[in-house]
Amino acid sequence: MLGLSEEELKEAEERSSVTVRVVHEAVRREGEDELKRTSSALAWSGLAAGLSMGFSLMGQGILYSKLPDAPWRPLLSSFGYTIGFLIVILGRQQLFTENTLTPILPLLARRDRTTAFHVARLWTVVLLSNLAGSLVIPTVLAKTEAFPPDVRAAFASIAGDAVPVGFGLALLRGVFAGWVMALLVWMLPFAETGRFFVIVTFTWVIGVCGFTHVVAGSVEAFFAAATGIVSWPTAIGAYIVPTLVGNILGGVSLVSALAHAQVTS
């Protein structure tokens, strides 16, 4: 032990990295708390989250419109994409992609019908309320002059690049986005004072890489549909639906199951 005193050994233990079992238990307990919430509480929180995610398009659009047209512009404008996630996560609002991880751990631990029912209830309520909230902001942006023409043009450019990607590509990019979001949730319990930077870093990666996130992306898709860039069936069937499937696959299969497996094994 290199002749360390008892006090020094205690300090070394405090400074050592948290084990994966501790992280797993922290996330699992958070999932248990989420499953106990009433449907009305989930719905109101999910609606607030959907509305808040509109700030991702607004933040990204404002930066995009003010920066010069250069190859590096997306690197900086994508920081605006993180604003909605900061509001939602730090404000403890219900976001669907966060819930692809936390409630799954209790389900994997118990594997009973009651837990499966509550997971399905949580997913359904949160997703529908997220989408309802995310419909409001882009409709306002598309139908009013709340922002000047150059910023509205930036919204259209962002949505026009993001949405018409096709079913398969939206699904694949959704898998990566679900993976990143689940990793973000996995890291947050012990990020402590670094939570702000963890959220910004991970969600910036989603934005700058063009990964598809079902709630943030639905804001872009609804704006594109409301302004005629794409049709409503295309926005929903060729973008939101495959993105949803990809987010679930990424969040559950690639992270939740693997994170749970390494603990149970």
Examine the pLDDT at 140 and tell me if it is beyond 90.
Answer: yes
Query: Given this model, what pLDDT does residue 265 score?
Result: 64
Residue 14 lies in a domain: no
Closest CA to 162 of 75, 70, 243: 243
Kindly calculate the radius of gyration of the chain based on its CA atoms and give it in whole angstroms.
20
Query: Given this model, what pLDDT does residue 1 score?
Result: 45
Round to whole Å and give the CA distance between 140 and 107: 39
Query: Given this model, what pLDDT does residue 10 score?
Result: 66
Round to whole Å and give the CA distance between 113 and 117: 6
Residue 65 lies in a domain: yes
Residue 188 lies in a domain: yes
Q: How many domains does the chain have?
A: 1
Query: Given this model, what pLDDT does residue 193 score?
Result: 81
Round to whole Å and give the CA distance between 200 and 198: 6
Closest CA to 173 of 210, 125, 124, 119: 210
Q: CB–CB of 185/102 below 8 Å?
A: yes
For the ranges 72-86, 138-152, 251-265, the lowest mean pLDDT is seen at 251-265
Residue 10 lies in a domain: no
What are the residues whose beta carbons fall under 8 Å from the beta carbon of 111, sequence distance 6 or more?
Answer: none
Query: Given this model, what pLDDT does residue 53 score?
Result: 96
What is the value of pTM for the model shown? 0.87
The model's pLDDT over 90-126, given as tens digits with 9 standing for 90+, comes to 998 999 987 767 888 888 878 889 989 999 999 999 9
What range does the domain containing 93 cover?
A: 21-264
Examine the pLDDT at 207 and tell me if it is beyond 80.
Answer: yes
Query: Given this model, what pLDDT does residue 131 score?
Result: 97
Closest CA to 241 of 182, 192, 170: 170
Residue 215 lies in a domain: yes
Taking the C-alpha atoms of 256, 91, 139 and 56 in order, what is their torsion angle to the nearest 10 degrees?
-70
CATH of the domain at 117: 1.20.1080.10
Residue 61 lies in a domain: yes
The model's pLDDT over 74-89, given as tens digits with 9 standing for 90+, comes to 999 999 999 999 999 9
Examine the pLDDT at 227 and tell me if it is beyond 60.
Answer: yes
Share the mean pLDDT of the chain. 88
Residue 8 lies in a domain: no
Residue 110 lies in a domain: yes
DSSP, res 3 = T
